[in-house]
Amino acid sequence: MTTRVIYPGTFDPITNGHLDIIKRSAMMFDEIIIAVAASPSKKTLFTLEERVQLIEATIKDLTNVTVQGFFGLLVDFAQQQQANLLVRGLRTTVDFEYEFGLTNMYRKLMPNLESVFLTPSEEYAFLSSTIVREVALHGGSVKEFVPLAVHSALAKKL
């Protein structure tokens, strides 16, 4: 039996912290699907298509990882993909509170959906897409925090 897991998020844009979690998952599970939420309520810097493309460029050497955009409920996407395991990243206690609430809600919506939480290497514990966007918007270099494709895309976009 193959273990197919979903790593969901907004990925606006993907950072080295996300990539750390993806690589750890790729070593633990057979198939990883990165699920990029359309998140219409969030005013994202990158479109859904751009966020998916940036991830595609970043994961091209990871043979058991794929990426897909999705609209609507994550639990519906998980069911479509016949996956009942989610991977989420835990950075600090702030993430813990948020993730705990989210997991309880998912459990109500899809009782057989389980979540596993992975912690990144400590250098990424305080890294977020929001911080990357803010620094880049104000002209700072984020080169060491994001994949190359994202670095170029940010330079073009801003």
Catalytic residue IDs: 18, 42, 91, 129
- Residue ranges in 16-45 that form contacts with ligand ADP under rule CB under 6 A: 17-18, 21
Q: Which helix (H) or strand (E) holds 97?
A: helix 93-109
State yes or no: residue 115 binds ligand ADP (CB under 6 A).
Answer: no
Q: Do 11 and 38 contact (CB within 8 A), yes or no?
A: no
Q: Can you tell me which of 31, 50, 56, 95 binds ligand ADP, judged by CB under 6 A?
A: 95
Amino acid letter, 56: E
Round to whole Å and give the CA distance between 8 and 102: 12
Q: Can you tell me which of 31, 84, 128, 151 binds ligand ADP, judged by CB under 6 A?
A: 128
Choose between 1 and 29: whose C-beta lies nearer to ligand ADP.
Answer: 29
Residues contacting ligand ADP: total by CB under 6 A: 16
Which range touches ligand ADP (CB under 6 A), out of 26-34, 62-70, 75-83, 124-132?
124-132
Which range touches ligand ADP (CB under 6 A), out of 59-67, 119-127, 133-141, 149-157?
119-127
State yes or no: residue 88 binds ligand ADP (CB under 6 A).
Answer: yes
Burial class of residue 132 (count of CB atoms within 10 Å of its CB; 0-12, 13-18, 19+): buried
- The structure tokens listed for 39 are 């998140």
Which range touches ligand ADP (CB under 6 A), out of 59-67, 89-97, 106-114, 136-144?
89-97
Q: Can you tell me which of 70, 77, 106, 124 binds ligand ADP, judged by CB under 6 A?
A: 124
Instruction: Write the CA distances from 66 to 51, 104, 111, integer angstroms.
Output: 13, 27, 25
Mind giving me the DSSP string for 108-120?
HH-TT-EEEEEPP
